[in-house]
């Protein structure tokens, strides 16, 4: 159900003093910003207006999830935030992904005639190619752009119009956008399902699903594990989504980052209510304790000030020396691309599982596409 379908049933909510942060717009909802108007009455047309609406939709969605519970249906469903998934649903995705492993090797015609549109307003190699490969392996086809620079967006078209147009060309849309909340906005305007392929520094839900799938496959379980994240926990969206997802399990989470790149407060607050979380700035004592070490790149492109980036650049380097005290069956993961956080000498050790992660990304995305498009139940 889209947010606008629900809006009529929603009581008047008082949104005063609720702060939303967006990459390009920080907006404190004012006294007038109370949901009691039809969504169509809101003015559109620029990033600021987009962000404004997204803020309202966000509250509305939180409200409706709270009162109605999360849907168990996958067909036609948007994938915007990992927070919309329950453990049971994640399990179902895992099962479907497993069934995709032989299909990924041979190919299939399950999605013949279906079109996936990939709209990437921000650089990507893996996510876009992985979705495209997944669609092709299921017999579907793909259209899209990888550089918003060359698309009509450059001529000043707003996101809502781009989505309303692409909606008519495709059966499912994957969107990557620098503006937090953009995927949620797109889902509101598209009739076809929208998958968030990365929304600013906020979330990357399909990456979290493939990360979880990898952990489960490599370790045989998720419950009971000690897991460390190292690197940029502030701007890295993959760790935000993965942290939310892990909070559904019985895990201990170690967050290792420079002081200035600590985990976003809103993520921390949410997960701390559910699982033990230990924050550290040094990796040394943590490595011997953990079963999974998830390393991330410092997200240079998201730093408002290059001098701040220079201070933290190269903060953590995982090499054979760093891993000398590690458990024998530790696994090292990375969403990629890596810069210099993991030395090449680690690649040939049994610890390194980041290239398996890439393969798992294909089967997980095949599972999602086939579930959303109704080819698998």
Which parts of this chain interact with ligand ASP (CB under 6 A)? 123-127, 198, 204, 237-238, 297, 335-337
Is the Cα dihedral 301, 303, 309, 314 positive or negative?
Answer: negative
Catalytic residue among 40, 106, 155, 168: 155
Task: Kindly tell me which of 35 and 119 has the beta carbon lying closer to ligand ASP.
Answer: 119
Q: C-beta of 245: minimal distance to ligand ASP in Å?
A: 15
Number of alpha carbons in the 13 Å side-chain half-sphere of residue 228: 25
Q: C-beta of 204: minimal distance to ligand ASP in Å?
A: 5
Give the tokens for residue 345. 């000498």
Task: Kindly tell me which of 81 and 376 has the beta carbon lying closer to ligand ASP.
Answer: 81
Please answer whether residues 367 and 358 qualify as being in contact, where contact means their C-beta atoms are separated by less than 8 angstroms.
Answer: no
Q: Would you report the helix, strand and coil content of the chain in percent, each value rounded to 5?
A: 45, 15, 40
Active site residue 128: no
Peptide bond just before 366 cis, omega within 30 deg:
no
E runs forming strands in the chain: 19-21, 26-28, 115-120, 141-145, 172-177, 194-199, 226-230, 252-256, 277-280, 292-295, 331-333
Catalytic residue among 23, 64, 96, 127: 127
Active site residue 219: no
Order the strands of the 141-145 sheet from edge to edge: 141-145, 115-120, 172-177, 194-199
Three-state DSSP state, 252: strand
Q: C-beta of 131: minimal distance to ligand ASP in Å?
A: 10
Is the Cα dihedral 362, 253, 123, 49 positive or negative?
Answer: positive
Task: Kindly tell me which of 177 and 297 has the beta carbon lying closer to ligand ASP.
Answer: 297
Q: C-beta of 297: minimal distance to ligand ASP in Å?
A: 4
Three-state DSSP state, 180: coil
Task: Kindly tell me which of 55 and 361 has the beta carbon lying closer to ligand ASP.
Answer: 361
Please answer whether residues 98 and 104 qualify as being in contact, where contact means their C-beta atoms are separated by less than 8 angstroms.
Answer: no
Q: Which residue is nearest to ligand ASP (CB)?
A: 126
DSSP states along 89-110:
HHHHHHHHHHHHHHHHHH---T
Q: C-beta of 129: minimal distance to ligand ASP in Å?
A: 8
Closest CA to 291 of 216, 204, 207: 216
Q: C-beta of 205: minimal distance to ligand ASP in Å?
A: 11
Catalytic residue among 83, 114, 137, 204: 204
Task: Kindly tell me which of 59 and 342 has the beta carbon lying closer to ligand ASP.
Answer: 342
Catalytic residue among 137, 176, 237, 353: 176
Task: Kindly tell me which of 64 and 357 has the beta carbon lying closer to ligand ASP.
Answer: 357
Q: C-beta of 336: minimal distance to ligand ASP in Å?
A: 6
Task: Kindly tell me which of 89 and 202 has the beta carbon lying closer to ligand ASP.
Answer: 202
Chain position carrying tokens 């305007």 = 189
Active site residue 126: yes
Catalytic residue among 126, 136, 164, 327: 126
| Active-site residue list | 126-127, 155, 176, 204
């Amino acid at each position: 159900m889209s947010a606008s379908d629900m809006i009529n049933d929603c009581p008047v909510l008082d949104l005063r003093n609720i702060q939303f942060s967006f990459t390009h717009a920080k907006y404190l909802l004012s006294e007038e910003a109370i949901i009691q108007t039809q969504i169509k009455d809101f003015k559109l047309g620029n990033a600021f207006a987009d962000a404004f609406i997204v803020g309202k939709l966000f509250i509305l969605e939180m409200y409706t999830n709270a009162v109605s519970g999360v849907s168990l249906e996958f067909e036609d469903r948007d994938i915007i935030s990992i927070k919309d998934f329950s453990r049971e649903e994640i399990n179902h995705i895992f099962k479907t992904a497993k069934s995709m492993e032989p299909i990924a090797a041979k190919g299939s015609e399950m999605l013949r005639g279906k079109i996936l549109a990939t709209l990437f307003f921000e650089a990507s190699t893996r996510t876009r190619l992985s979705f495209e490969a997944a669609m092709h392996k299921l017999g579907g086809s793909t259209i899209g752009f990888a550089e918003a620079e060359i698309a009509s967006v450059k001529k000043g078209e707003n996101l809502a119009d781009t989505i309303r147009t692409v909606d008519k060309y495709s059966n499912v849309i994957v969107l990557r956008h620098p503006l937090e909340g953009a995927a949620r906005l797109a889902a509101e305007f598209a009739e076809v399902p929208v998958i968030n392929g990365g929304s600013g520094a906020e979330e990357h839900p399909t990456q979290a699903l493939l990360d979880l799938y990898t952990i489960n496959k490599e370790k045989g379980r998720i419950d009971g594990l000690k897991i460390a994240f190292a690197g940029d926990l502030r701007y890295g969206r993959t760790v935000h989504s993965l942290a939310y997802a892990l909070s559904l399990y019985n895990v201990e989470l170690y967050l290792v980052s420079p002081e200035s790149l600590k985990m976003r407060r809103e993520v921390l607050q949410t997960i701390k209510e559910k699982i033990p979380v230990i924050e550290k700035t040094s990796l040394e004592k943590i490595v011997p304790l953990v079963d999974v070490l998830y390393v991330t790149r410092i997200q240079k492109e998201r730093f408002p000030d290059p001098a701040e980036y220079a201070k933290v650049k190269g903060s953590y380097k995982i090499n054979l020396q760093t891993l000398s005290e590690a458990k024998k069956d530790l696994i090292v993961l990375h969403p990629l691309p890596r810069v210099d956080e993991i030395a090449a000498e680690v690649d040939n050790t049994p610890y390194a599982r980041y290239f398996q992660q890439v393969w798992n990304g294909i089967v997980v995305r095949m599972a999602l596409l086939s579930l959303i498009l109704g080819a698998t139940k």
